[in-house]
Amino acid sequence: MRTLISNNTASVRLNRKKNKALKAFSRNYDLYLLILPVILYFAIFKYWPMYGVQIAFKDFIATRGIWGSPWVGIKHFSRFYNSYYFWDLIFNTLGISLYSLALGFPAPILLALMMNESRSKSLKKIVQTVTYAPHFLSTVVIVSVLVAFLSPRSGLINQIIKLLGRDPIYFMAEPKWFKTLYALSGIWQNAGWGSIIYMAALAGIDTEIYEAAMVDGASKFKRLIYITLPFLMPTAVTLLILNAGSLMNVGFEKVFLMQNERNLESSDVISTFVYRSGMISAEYSFSAAVGLFNSIINFILLISVNKTSKKLTETSLW
């Protein structure tokens, strides 16, 4: 009897939950329709291709397909880890990412602060237009401009070096310049666009706080330190966590276009290695294993940085 009553109670509760869910859906069906394309995009292009990740644990044979290929476990992961180029790829990938992050992360913050302090609206619009524009250029155009400016024969930079009485430098062929060129060109391309979110955060600061600080005699520098920066910190920390979660994902296109045989020792990263292994050498299983290894490291970094940030700053993604 008690079992029957408890089952009836459970079914009644389940029906109530279903009715509430249906009512909520009917009230907000337009919002669900708006988000439906996004869900379909991620389901089709992000989650469904994960089905093919299993070839990292197999010796993939095209004629047998994914399911018919023989299982080899972590053979390809061991091969990558024990290879002579493993640490070179890791150091190059992390080196370029950390160097770009160290130089590029503060750039949009500083740009947003400078535009926020500008009293001239016309100057602010000009700066915004000039700094936003490079973001819309393709990577091919960015690298082409870089090559043209740094050409040892006709490049503007080397012409200035010649005027100073020094020998021209072949920037694109010297390994020691690769990280700097990659990072600085990234700042030029993305600093203006990245400053938009910080400008939005600055616009949300109540002007009465600044007015109260001015009445108390706070200088511009003190208002910056004690009001502006604390308001920007949650936004900055959130973006830092997201950037830390993609440290191992150095942009393939830009690195590949800037890469040549002479700078290969500092420009060869995991993404270019995966391209050569998979597309050129046709080692599909091995390249999939290297790519999966890269994704796992990124996932671990994201979780670790998010957890550390939550403890230290109480700001996190979840």
- Are 235 and 111 within one domain? yes
Does residue 80 sit in the same domain as residue 44? no
How high is the mean pLDDT of the chain?
85
The answer as to whether 62 is a domain residue is no
Shared-domain flag, residues 115 and 201:
yes
Helix, coil or strand: residue 58: strand
DSSP 98-141: HHHHHHHTHHHHHHHHHHHH---HHHHHHHHHHHHGGGGS-HHH
Taking only the tens of pLDDT, the chain with its 318 residues reads 555 455 556 565 666 777 777 777 778 888 888 889 999 999 998 888 888 888 999 998 888 888 888 999 889 999 999 988 899 999 999 899 989 988 989 999 999 988 888 888 888 888 888 888 899 989 899 999 999 999 888 888 888 988 888 888 888 888 889 999 999 999 999 998 989 889 888 888 888 888 888 888 888 888 888 888 888 888 888 888 888 877 777 878 899 999 988 888 898 999 899 998 888 888 889 999 998 888 888 888 888 888 887 777 777 777
Would you say residue 248 lies in a domain? yes
Host domain of residue 31: 16-56
Element counts in the chain: helices (H) and strands (E): 17, 0
51 and 190 within one domain: no
- How many separate domains does the chain show? 2
**Count of residues in the chain:** 318
Q: Do 230 and 258 have their domain in common?
A: yes
Residue 4 lies in a domain: no
Q: Identify whether 3 is part of a domain.
A: no
- The answer to whether residues 176 and 47 belong to one domain is no
Is 117 part of a structural domain of the chain? yes
How far is it, in rounded angstroms, from Cα 42 to Cα 315? 26
Tokens 């600055």: give the residue.
202
Q: Dihedral angle at the C-alpha atoms of 240, 244, 246, 252, nearest 10 degrees? A: 90
φ/ψ bin of 65: left (φ > 0), alpha (ψ from -120 to 50), beta (otherwise): left
* Pair (112, 240) in one structural domain: yes
Q: Please report whether residue 6 resides in a domain.
A: no
CATH assignment at residue 281: 1.10.3720.10
3-state DSSP helix/strand/coil % of the chain, to nearest 5? 80, 0, 20
pTM to 2 decimals? Answer: 0.82
For 80, counting Cβ atoms within 10 Å of its Cβ (0-12 exposed, 13-18 middle, 19+ buried), the class is: buried
51 and 130 assigned to the same domain: no
Residues 107 and 145 occupy one common structural domain: yes
183 lies in the same domain as 281 = yes
Question: In this structure, is residue 318 part of a structural domain?
Answer: no
Note the pLDDT of residue 4.
46
Same domain flag for 182 and 89: yes
Indicate whether 244 belongs to any domain: yes
| Residues 44 and 149 grouped into a single domain | no
Distances (CA, A) of 283 to 55, 190, 278, 293: 11, 35, 5, 16
